[in-house]
Structure 1
């Protein structure tokens, strides 16, 4: 079973940094449970399809921006967390935050994104 460190890395690179919707959907199917719940400051979405649509919308808001890890994965029990930054490659970030995941049976069942500031 995958642990939170591996899942957070796959999520960042294969979902939030993946421009191709088909490839992104394939990684979502591997990494997230069918009934995943994603919560950020603006929305709560349920299920893989809603998650995919939300990520597509988020990526459209910042074309050319990439997510990069901003620290190590930390965790306890079935929870994992990792800070990240968003910005143009090689430039200062425009946004940062923290992802917190709950892992159930080797997949992310819950994802909370807390934005900095």
Structure 2
């Protein structure tokens, strides 16, 4: 099995899934980046399946408006099927609204499970 490029995978997830407002492009990215039956863990809920993850990402972007964006902080790091990427989010050019990290379990080069960790605020 070839080595997984954890940095490319998690940056693609942040940009092409959680930064993509076009649902068809987001769905195509999820089909490429995730296993067939992925699970995403948020602090208050568990999301199962590609369609559900796409719906959550789309709703998040809709909720916070057209200027809202996730920005990676450095490179993702990982080994042995586990990777993490720190990020911050908020309106483009505006104040940071939230910071956190994605932690992903990778299987065969795709995201199988994704934990969204949010840093405490204020």
Note the residue ranges of structure 2 that are not aligned, 5 or more in a row: none
How well do the aligned residues superpose, as a CA RMSD in angstroms?
A: 1.2
Structure 1 unaligned runs (5+)? none
Partner of 2:48: 46
Normalised by the length of structure 2, the TM-score is: 0.90
TM-score after normalising by structure 1: 0.94
* Aligned position for 1:16: 18
Partner-residue secondary structure (3-state), 1:83: strand
Runs of 4+ displaced beyond 3 Å: none
CA contact (8 A) 2:38 2:113 kept: yes
CA distance in 2, matches of 1:51, 1:67: 16
Find the residue that maps to 2:84 and give its secondary structure.
strand
Instruction: Return the alpha-carbon distance in structure 2 between the equivalents of residues 3 and 107 of structure 1.
Output: 10
Deviates more, 1:74-83 or 1:32-41: 74-83
Using the alignment, how far apart are the partners of 1:70 and 1:90 within structure 2? Answer: 16
Question: What SS class does the counterpart of residue 101 from structure 2 fall into?
Answer: strand
The corresponding residue for 1:86 is: 89
Deviation, structure 1 residue 3: 2.5
